[in-house]
Chain A
């Protein structure tokens, strides 16, 4: 079994998704146990896969032992292993969170089994994107992940349906662009396998067809990653979708697409070694910088915590393309660390957002006064996540910033250093505004006292234990990833391959 881990990583969630309705129909009591143990098993597989990568190098797995280009290849290396680990970890933590969430949610989500099916399908897709070794398999998994995510967003109620529709249209257009690019590449080279493409493509880089393919693929993946100016679908979808879904969408799903960008630019198109790709990387860097600043400024302008998080996602996710664009080992280590760091902190923030909604019945920033009294643990988790977002030590966000700033300095991109520093300060503006309300400002006594469900009258426990546990796991993870970032960088991220295309 150990030899088949790369394919099991995809198969376990896929089979779980397929078996879940049957399990639920026959033994409804076992559904949750079945789901969680499957996801935990998957996480264990991800850890084992990562261990294999660290001890024995990148893992190329041929499905059915058919050699590429005829067979399907799965690849686990340091970068894709990181994505897999993040995905499997987040999936388990979110599954922990989801059950009590749906019990408490007033909207009364009826189709819970459907939710879990779509959720595990999305996990399948995301892990598939990470481990796919050829560009068409990648497309298939992109679509598995995307289509299930459209469905999940649409489950959030009426406003979510419209947001999901918009997301669906843009996402499908993006996927079509990607497919066009894939088709062009296949027509020009006759293969879909990435490893082969990386040797076949360089002599052809001058051809207009390959240039068009590069543009199409980047357009497709860029839209899916919500890079400015292709981000328009994100704020609504991430505001109205059901929290457990969004906590995964904003973390693992976006990371997988950002990883796709790295995969294409460095392992297929040759990275900084090719003039055309170097140009693409430069444009990527500018767009990422624009995304960072745009997202942060828009986040400051928001009054609703949910929407603020959505814009903050646009800003934070752009750190990854920025690291990819810089292309030094330090910068890529920063990008990989950001995958872990941002997943945990944004996942945690979305969970806190729901906690606020369930307990305080509001997500308006101005109405969060006194939250620390009612929800001390959530407030602590909020503080840690916010510090990580701003990039303050000792959280992982600081080390992301350190690696990226260092990479930018090594590559001589002074303006990127400025952007990163400015981004941290803008993050400080909007997160400290919230922390001020949560911890320091006193609640206004008259606003809620006459309502039975006002924030300060809420008695009873803060939140169900599994929800708190999920938040605390992530908050502890942020600190652990911060303290252990040197270890991670030395043992895992240093193995990230630039395929000769680094700076």
Chain B
């Protein structure tokens, strides 16, 4: 009996488990080891809960629970479907790895304010699970805003003027766009009478085309800003002042992916790709994401700092996901969903390597990194492999998503986007590979001559695990966690309109 109640409310536990962890972390601020234990324990527990739901989802079922009423006729509604599962499985797994990495990183750099850091981190993950499992728009929005708030302390972690400025910029972008999304959600409830996510959408025929287009724009504002769509991407490179594990979490998993996931939810579960074409929103959205892909890659070429390059690379890569959703064919949607995962695991490796290098060099200027590959072969090999993966090389996870996106572009007959994707891959080689090349073949910078050996094990292990995962999943995309099946089921759901 009690067990049934517990099992039935698993989506809720998955969301809640890191909230007490945050308080325990705050309470044990004077005992670093105990504090880190809480983080790891909560992360493991979360993974356990999330993955225990995986078999049911793979069978095509959904799990739901409705613990509370939020407003008349609107419940706090969690529903785990393939799309949500994909995101939650990714985020919870990477939280554990990022936590391990953080311990190595923060301790070797003797960072201050670590307690607040781990507590915010835990809250972030809670919000991310809420976003992944949200079954209606209001629930989604509540966790979406909580994510903004929980990441703010992480962005301003360094406590200097630059960080504060980045924090203000972050809040300005996300809060303003969030309010627009709120208005959009209210309008959805008003026109459609409900806001529960339904695969294939529920907005069709509820209002005239232009009205739907306005609602779509308002709804999309929040997720698009978090997904770093140009011209609303300004906060993302600025937020790079945060410590590297934060950037890894923010720019590979939680925040930006929450934005992409929101875009997918809105396009696939509130509207549908066909309706989007009808109201004339699909083409401009695809165009905007195409422009973002090219421009972000071009800007990345000009940045001398590795983290800045990764930030712009992220902006470009995220728009792959938006592009796939806007194209809306079966392959494009599979590509979109899988890229959510593939980009997450590859980009987090790149950020991990950047962080690991930083713990040794205290500098991320690309010219200074020359020649370090010989003393840190494992780190730079992981970097190189994932850089190639970002560019879309076969055998890496990134290839699977890119291949599907290319198929999607051809299915929809919009060949221009296939060209853009290929150009983007070449540009990615252009901005990521020179670092690897000079690291292995270049001369040592005199300032860096004292650097010897790999970074410590806490930072090295996570990045090796993620890069190996990127390799294994590039060859067997359905191997660990069945991410490819999840992406396929999610795309099928949207196109057939049923769970």
Contact = CB atoms under 8 A, between A and B. Distances in A.
B142 A398 contact: yes
B159 interface: yes
Contacts of B183: 405, 409, 417, 421
B72 A490 contact: yes
B130 to A, nearest CB: 10
Interface in A387-403: 387, 392-394, 398-399, 401-403
Nearest to A414: B183
B142 A440 contact: no
B71 interface: yes
Contact of B159 (A394, A410, A432, A441): A441
B69 A490 contact: yes
A399 to B, nearest CB: 7
B164 interface: yes
A432 B175 CA distance: 12
B175 A486 contact: no
A441 B186 contact: no
Contacts of A490: 69, 72
A186 interface: no
Interface string A461-503: 0000000000000000000000101110110001000000000
Contact of B69 (A405, A439, A486): A486
B239 interface: no
Given A394-B142, A421-B183, A428-B171, A402 B71 contact: yes
A406 B159 contact: no
Contacts of A442: 159
B156 interface: yes
Interface bracket on B? 20 to 34
A280 B141 CA distance: 35
Among B72, B74, B75, the most chain A Cβ lie within 10 Å of the Cβ of B72
Contacts of A381: none
A425 B69 CA distance: 26
A417 B186 contact: yes
A409 B190 contact: yes
A387 B123 CA distance: 16
B138 A402 contact: yes
A394 B190 contact: no
Among A410, A486, A494, the most chain B Cβ lie within 10 Å of the Cβ of A486
B72 A409 contact: no
A489 B186 contact: no
B187 interface: yes
B462 interface: no
B153 to A, nearest CB: 7
Interface bracket on A? 20 to 34
Contacts of B69: 486-487, 489-490
A436 interface: yes
Interface string B168-180: 1001000110011
A300 to B, nearest CB: 14
Among B145, B171, B176, B179, the most chain A Cβ lie within 10 Å of the Cβ of B179
A330 B142 contact: no
Given A406-B186, A425-B176, A432-B171, A489 B71 contact: yes
A424 interface: yes
B179 A439 contact: no
Among A333, A393, A401, A489, the most chain B Cβ lie within 10 Å of the Cβ of A393
A399 B76 CA distance: 13
Contacts of A487: 68-69
Contacts of A432: 168, 171
A436 B159 contact: no
Contacts of A485: 70-71
Contacts of A483: 68
A428 B149 CA distance: 11
A444 to B, nearest CB: 13
Contacts of A402: 71, 138, 182, 186
B72 A394 contact: no
A409 B71 contact: no
Contacts of B168: 432, 436
Given A417-B183, A483-B68, A393 B159 contact: no
4 tightest Cβ-Cβ pairs between the two chains A and B? A486-B69, A393-B142, A421-B179, A486-B70
Interface of B: 68-72, 74-76, 138, 141-143, 145-146, 149, 153, 156, 159, 164, 167-168, 171, 175-176, 179-180, 182-183, 186-187, 189-190
23 contacts: A330-B72, A398-B145, A402-B182, A405-B182, A405-B183, A406-B71, A406-B190, A409-B186, A409-B187, A410-B190, A424-B175, A425-B179, A432-B171, A440-B153, A440-B156, A483-B68, A485-B71, A486-B68, A486-B74, A486-B75, A487-B69, A490-B69, A494-B72
Interface of A: 330, 333, 387, 392-394, 398-399, 401-403, 405-406, 409-410, 417, 421, 424-425, 428, 432, 436, 439-442, 483, 485-487, 489-490, 494
